[in-house]
């Protein structure tokens, strides 16, 4: 677990949070109005490329958009912060 997630869980022991499998290190915060975890898109892409050493940036982006960001899992669905530095678009 990440230090940020540890802090969130310790600060809100009564809450249930929806987490994305294997992406704890990509958590960057909490939206306290909805009690939804906030994930860094850039960190998710980085984790995907490390997790599957054969996945390049474009493949990781495609996987992210179709399998992670696009998945709605109810009112506690995490928030995906678009913090990638887009270059040469």
Q: Is residue 11 part of a domain?
A: yes
**Residue 30 structural domain:** 3-81
The DSSP bridge partners found for residue 81 are 40
Q: Between 87 and 37, where is the model more confident?
A: 37
Q: Which residues contact 7 (CB under 8 A, 6 or more apart)?
A: none
Q: What is the pLDDT of residue 70?
A: 86
Locate all alpha helices (DSSP H) within the chain, ordered by sequence.
Answer: 3-11, 41-51, 57-63
Q: Rounded to the nearest 10 degrees, how much is the dihedral formed by the CA atoms of 70, 71, 75, 76?
A: -110
What does the DSSP 8-state code read for residue 69? I
Is 89 part of a structural domain of the chain? Answer: no
Residue 12 lies in a domain: yes
Model confidence pLDDT, tens digit, residues 34-67: 999 999 999 999 999 998 678 999 999 999 999 9
> Which residue, 65, 63, 57, is CA-closest to 85?
57
Q: Is residue 86 part of a domain?
A: no
**Chain mean pLDDT for the chain:** 91
pLDDT in tens, 4-13: 999 999 999 9
Assess if residue 88 is contained within a domain: no
Mean pLDDT of 6-29: 96
Number of structural domains (the chain) is 1
């Amino acid at each position: 677990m990440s230090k940020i997630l540890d802090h969130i869980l310790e600060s809100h022991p009564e809450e249930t949070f929806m987490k994305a499998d294997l992406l704890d290190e990509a958590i960057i915060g909490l939206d306290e109005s909805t009690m939804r975890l906030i994930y860094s898109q850039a960190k998710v892409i980085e984790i995907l490329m490390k997790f599957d050493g054969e996945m390049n940036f474009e493949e990781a982006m495609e996987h992210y958009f179709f399998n992670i960001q696009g998945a709605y899992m109810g009112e506690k669905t995490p928030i995906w912060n678009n913090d990638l530095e887009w270059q040469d678009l």
